[in-house]
């Protein structure tokens, strides 16, 4: 993982996205630094900004196969951050990571590889609860019809793995105060990697969990609801309703 802080992102965002002009010279200097980091790590690479990866746009955002794609993928993330103006996302730089081969079961969204990931909540240094990271209501355009049963199977976390991840989560939380969510994903070789953390109060909990804030229960559907199937049916009904009737 290589962190590349960049203080002039606001200026570049304004120039490129709002004024439709070429980026200033310091952007090109920064881009060369990101490229050099990617070269050191080796393609494909995983990129993200300090606060977001726009993972749902996978093949156009965080997953980068070659140097020629880097700038466009970075601007995809810049635009994503800019579109989140209702939240307080900002962009203070990019992060280049070695691309890890996950234990992928199918893809969803824009080619995103869905693998076994779990979210652990720790409060005051102790495990509060944990749940799978992926679930039916989060899925959009899964690559297989069978995704609900595959997700159900992926949710099984053997006792030994639960012990390992609880150990990791409490160790990480031990050096930080407060309330945190910590995400772990399983690699193809069955080991675990920590990929992300966020403050506990701002992290999604399974709505069936006893620790879920009331507001979240209202805002999100039941994780086991098959929303993708419902959306498909609604879309089909709309298409039929508005279909142009050829004489
Ligand atoms: N280095 C990596 N190699 C492969 N996949 C990764 C890597 N880092 C993250 N991912 C995948 O991308 C997802 C999003 O990454 P993350 O850093 O958590 O971004 P975000 O904050 O946008 O969720 C992870 O849940 C994981 O599935
Ligand atoms: Mg994440």
- At 110-124, the pLDDT tens digits run 999 999 999 999 999
pLDDT of residue 40 exceeding 90: yes
| pLDDT, greater one: 79 or 174 | 79
Q: Which two tokens stand for residue 32?
A: 């060369």
Based on the structure, what is the number of domains in the chain?
2
Mean pLDDT of the 79-95 span: 90
- Tell me: do 189 and 73 sit in the same domain: no
Range of the domain at 109: 104-233
Expressed in angstroms and rounded, the spacing between residue 78 Cα and the centre of ligand 2 is 17
Mean pLDDT of the 133-138 span: 95
Q: Is the CB of 131 under 6 A from ligand 1?
A: no
Q: Is the CB of 166 under 6 A from ligand 1?
A: no
Mean pLDDT of the 174-186 span: 93
Contacts of 172 (CB under 8 A, 6+ apart): 122, 180, 182, 194, 197
Lowest-pLDDT range of 15-29, 64-78, 229-243 = 229-243
Nearest CA to 48 among 4, 15, 17? 4
Q: Is the CB of 51 under 6 A from ligand 1?
A: no
| 205 within domain boundaries | yes
Task: Report how far Cα 237 is from the mean position of its chain's Cα atoms.
Answer: 31
Mean pLDDT of the 35-56 span: 97
- Tell me: do 50 and 139 sit in the same domain: no
Lowest-pLDDT range of 83-92, 161-170, 172-181, 216-225 = 83-92
CB atoms under 10 Å from CB of 47, counted, come to 25
Expressed in angstroms and rounded, the spacing between residue 185 Cα and the centre of ligand 2 is 10
Mean pLDDT of the 29-57 span: 97
**Domain stop point among 98, 123, 156:** 98
pLDDT of residue 246 exceeding 70: no
- Distance between CA atoms of residues 126 and 138, nearest Å: 27
Q: Where are the alpha helices (DSSP H) in 84-156?
A: 147-154
Backbone angles phi, psi at 118, to 5 degrees: -135, 145
Nearest CA to 191 among 129, 127, 100? 100
Q: Is the CB of 99 under 6 A from ligand 1?
A: yes
Pairing between strand 179-186 and 117-123? antiparallel
Q: What is the pLDDT of residue 242?
A: 87
């Amino acid at each position: 993982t290589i962190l590349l802080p960049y203080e002039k992102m606001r200026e570049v965002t304004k120039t490129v996205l709002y004024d439709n002009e070429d980026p200033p010279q310091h952007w090109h200097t920064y881009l060369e630094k990101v490229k050099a980091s990617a070269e050191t790590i080796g393609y494909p690479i995983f990129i993200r900004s300090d606060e977001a990866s726009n993972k749902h746009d996978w093949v156009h955002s965080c997953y980068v196969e070659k140097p020629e794609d880097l700038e466009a993928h970075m601007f995809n993330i810049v635009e994503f951050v800019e579109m989140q103006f209702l939240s307080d996302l900002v962009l203070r730089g990019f992060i280049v990571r070695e691309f890890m081969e996950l234990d992928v079961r199918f893809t969803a969204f824009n080619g995103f590889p869905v693998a076994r990931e779990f979210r652990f909540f720790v409060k005051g240094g102790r495990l509060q609860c944990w749940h799978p990271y992926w679930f039916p209501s989060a899925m959009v355009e899964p690559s297989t019809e069978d995704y609900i049963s595959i997700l159900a199977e992926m949710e099984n976390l053997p006792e030994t793995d639960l012990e390992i991840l609880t150990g990791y989560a409490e160790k990480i939380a031990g050096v930080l105060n407060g309330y945190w969510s910590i995400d772990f994903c399983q690699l193809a070789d069955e080991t675990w990697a920590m990929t992300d953390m966020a403050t506990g109060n701002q992290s999604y909990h399974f709505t069936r969990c006893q620790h879920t804030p009331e507001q979240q229960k209202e805002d999100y559907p039941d994780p086991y609801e098959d929303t993708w199937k419902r959306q498909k049916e609604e879309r089909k009904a709309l298409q039929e309703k508005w279909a142009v009737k050829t004489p």
